[in-house]
Each structure stands twice: as structure tokens, then as C-alpha cells.
Amino acid sequence: MNLITFYADCNLPDKPKQNQRGFDWRNAIELLRRSAAKHGYTVQVVTDESTIMESPWLRVGDAKEGLMMWLLKAQAAAVAASEKPAIMVSPDTLIADRIDFMNGPDLTILTRLKPKPIVNSVIGFTPSAHLNALWSRFVETAQGLSQDSLAWGADIDALVQVMGVVPNEDSTRIVHGVNVRMLPLAGRFESAKLGRQSIRMRAPIWDFKGARKAQMAEYARLLGC
């Protein structure tokens, strides 16, 4: 099973830039790769046309034109280029166990209660023409979102709007011809605890969004990465 991750050098809004100050994204990709390999997964990298990176799987556009739109377009390109089921995973993520529950119908999304109804860190998919069309719809919808959303959050907001996701949704339903499974993240996805190391994380997906990024290398050592 392939995992697909996305990274490109880009311009960030002030708050995300502060949270990511000093974070080594290339090392994060390597830690993700090592953690995934322990459970039999390989990692392919998608970047843009200008980011210096050795042998990425796919290059798409220019992230400096706007990270949120670039990510949606890069996801669309990855879905279109994939020949087998795969799981899209953010590079600031560690894999602590098998995540085969992300396989299944055309699209598998993890839902939550707040602050937004889904996470975009981990998305499972089976490639198809219908899914290509749905991702094109995500991109088109994002272009009409507010400037605040386009600066940060459109990669979630577009999916939520098009699919009509409700908080903590637990369902399987057809969205524009695509069979979508919504799974609540409890027991499947866990964010690192801010300010302290925790060996009590039991979920198979460990998340390091925002200020948690500084702890990713420390947690990776717990996994032997």
C-alpha cells in the first residue's frame, strides 16, 4: 500500500509560519517514511515545480501562488496519477500501526467534532473517473471561498462544503457519484500532547499539527524511527 505525502516551499500566513519556525519538513518526511515502513507501507512525495527535492513521485504547479489551492490541485493530480488505492498523509504525521481501515470505498475521510468537521491529514481513496471529477469540484469550490479560507483552511473547507460533512459524521453515502465513508477519528487519529511527551498515545495515526511540530522527532524516537 502506498502513502502519498505533500510538501512544497511556500509563503505562509503569520501564525502558521510562527508554528512551523525551524521545523525540518524534509526530515519529517523521512520520519513518516520510516514509521510507515515498519508497517509495510511505502511513501511517495508530491511537490511543486520549483522546490528542490530529490526524485519526487510527482511535481505539480507552484505552491508559492497559494498553499491551499496548490494542495487541492496536487491532491487532484495524485488521485488522477494513481493506479491503485492509496492513502494521502500529511508529512507532519507518524504511523504507529496498520491503517488499513482507511481502505474501502472510493473515498475515506476522518471526521471530528471541532474546530472543523474533518481532518485533512489522512485521506484514503480508490482512483476512478468519478473521484477525479469530485476533486475537480473541490478545486472549483475552493476558488469561490473567502480570502481568509484561501489563505488557510480552504483544503478542508472545500471538502466540507461539497460533501456536506457534519461534525463527527459516521456514515457511508454517495456524493456526486463517489462512495464516501466518514469515520470519526476517535481511536484512529490522535494529536500529540502540547508541551510534554506522552507514551500513552494508542491511535495508529499520530498528528503533529501547529505548535506540536516541535515534538515530532521526540515522538518518532518512541516508535524507533
CATH of the domain at 189: 3.90.550.10
Domain membership of residue 54 as a residue range: 2-222
CA distance linking residue 194 with residue 191, whole number of Å: 9
Task: Give φ, ψ of 80 to 5 degrees.
Answer: -65, -35
Closest CA to 95 of 184, 203, 7: 203
| pTM for the predicted model, two decimal places | 0.95
Do 22 and 10 meet the contact criterion of CB atoms below 8 Å apart?
no
Q: What is the mean pLDDT of the chain?
A: 94
- Polymer length in residues for the chain: 225
Arithmetic mean of pLDDT, 109-124: 96
Task: Give φ, ψ of 47 to 5 degrees.
Answer: -135, -170
Do 43 and 32 meet the contact criterion of CB atoms below 8 Å apart?
yes
What does the pLDDT look like over 152-188, one tens digit per residue?
999 999 999 999 999 999 999 999 999 999 999 999 9
| Domains identified in the chain, total number | 1
Say if residue 133's pLDDT is above 70. Answer: yes
**What pLDDT does 194 receive?**
75
CA distance linking residue 184 with residue 43, whole number of Å: 24
Do 79 and 44 meet the contact criterion of CB atoms below 8 Å apart?
no
